[in-house]
C-alpha cells in the first residue's frame, strides 16, 4: 500500500500539472458519481492528508485513496487509459488518470475535511504535532507497536514499510508492546523525519544509502543478512501485514 510520502509526492505532481487550469474533460467511471461533470471548473488546490488525496475543483472536491494498488498517472496527452481507469481529467494538454483507486468520491468542497477528521496528526502536513502523536501512541500501552503505528488515528502516513523500518531503528520487535518505548516522542519524530526526507522520492530510502538494493534495513529482506550485525532477517507473513525484523538487533 502506498504510504504517506508517496501520496504527498503524487499530490505535488498533480498540483504542478493541473493547479490553475480549467478542466476540459471530466470522465468519472464510478457509478455513484458517473453523472458528475466538472468540465469548465478550475483546479484550485491539490493536497494530501495522510494517505488521502484531495483535488478541489470549483465547489467540489475529488477525494481519492490509493489503497493497495491505486495510482494517479499524469502528463501531457496521451497518457494511457484502460479498463482500470476510475477517473480521467484533462486540462489544456494535460491528462490525469486515476487507476484502480480504492476510494473515489466527489465531496462538497466546504466539508471535505470531514472525510479525514478521524486521522491523527499528519506526518507531512501543516498540522503535524509530535506531542499529540506521542500521546496518541502511548494511550494504549499494551498494544503491539506495529499495530499502533499503522493506526492512522494515532498518526497519519505510516504504512508497513515505515512501520518495519521504525521498529528496526528503534530496536523493538514489531510485536513488542507500546509500553516498551521509552521515548514515544522520539519515535514519532523519527517517523516524521523518514517521511519528510523521502517526500520527493518514488523509491524511499531509510538507510541513507540510495544505491539499488541498499535503501532499506529490513523490509522485504527476509533471509538476507542484517546490515548491522549479519544475522538473517526474520519475517512473519501469517498476519494481515508482513513483519520483518532482525532477531539480534530487535529484542
pLDDT above 70: residue 247: yes
- The predicted-structure confidence for 89-139, as pLDDT tens digits, reads as follows 999 999 999 999 999 999 999 999 999 999 999 999 998 999 999 999 999
Same domain, residue pair 106 and 134: no
Same domain, residue pair 15 and 46: yes
Same domain, residue pair 66 and 145: no
Catalytic positions, please?
2-3, 51, 241
Beta bridge partners of 68: none
Same domain, residue pair 110 and 190: no
- Its domain, for residue 14, covers 4-116
Question: What is the predicted pLDDT for the residue at 142?
Answer: 98
Question: Mean per-residue pLDDT for 171-197?
Answer: 97
Same domain, residue pair 87 and 158: no
Same domain, residue pair 85 and 188: no
Same domain, residue pair 134 and 241: yes
Same domain, residue pair 136 and 183: yes
Same domain, residue pair 231 and 168: yes
Boundary of a domain, candidates 116, 149, 182: 116
* Residue 203 included in any domain: yes
Count of structural domains, the chain: 2
Give the predicted TM-score (pTM) of the model.
0.94
Residues 6+ apart with CB under 8 A from 14: 46, 53, 55, 72, 74, 96
Same domain, residue pair 103 and 150: no
Amino acid at each position: 500500500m502506498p504510504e504517506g510520502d508517496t501520496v504527498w509526492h503524487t499530490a505535488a505532481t498533480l498540483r504542478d500539472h493541473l493547479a490553475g487550469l480549467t478542466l476540459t474533460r471530466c470522465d468519472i467511471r464510478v457509478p455513484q458519481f458517473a453523472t458528475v461533470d466538472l468540465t469548465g471548473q478550475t483546479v484550485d488546490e491539490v493536497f494530501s492528508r495522510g494517505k488521502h488525496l484531495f483535488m478541489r475543483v470549483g465547489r467540489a472536491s475529488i477525494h481519492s485513496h490509493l489503497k493497495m494498488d491505486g495510482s494517479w498517472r499524469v502528463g501531457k496527452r496521451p497518457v494511457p487509459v484502460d479498463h482500470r481507469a476510475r477517473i480521467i481529467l484533462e486540462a489544456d494538454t494535460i491528462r490525469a488518470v486515476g487507476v484502480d483507486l480504492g476510494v473515489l468520491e466527489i465531496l462538497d468542497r466546504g466539508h471535505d475535511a470531514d472525510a479525514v477528521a478521524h486521522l491523527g496528526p499528519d506526518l507531512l502536513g501543516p498540522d503535524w504535532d509530535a506531542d499529540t502523536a506521542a500521546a496518541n501512541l502511548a494511550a494504549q500501552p499494551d498494544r503491539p507497536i506495529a499495530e499502533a503505528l499503522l493506526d492512522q488515528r494515532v498518526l497519519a502516513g505510516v504504512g508497513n514499510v515505515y512501520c518495519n523500518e521504525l521498529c528496526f531503528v528503534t530496536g523493538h520487535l514489531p510485536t513488542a508492546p507500546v509500553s516498551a518505548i521509552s521515548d514515544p516522542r522520539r519515535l514519532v519524530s523519527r517517523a516524521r523525519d523518514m517521511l519528510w526526507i523521502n517526500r520527493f522520492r518514488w523509491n524511499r530510502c531509510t538507510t541513507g544509502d540510495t544505491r539499488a538494493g541498499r535503501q532499506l534495513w529490513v523490509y522485504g529482506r527476509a533471509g538476507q543478512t542484517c546490515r548491522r550485525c549479519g544475522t538473517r532477517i526474520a519475517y512473519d507473513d501469517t498476519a494481515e501485514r508482513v513483519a520483518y525484523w532482525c532477531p539480534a538487533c530487535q529484542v
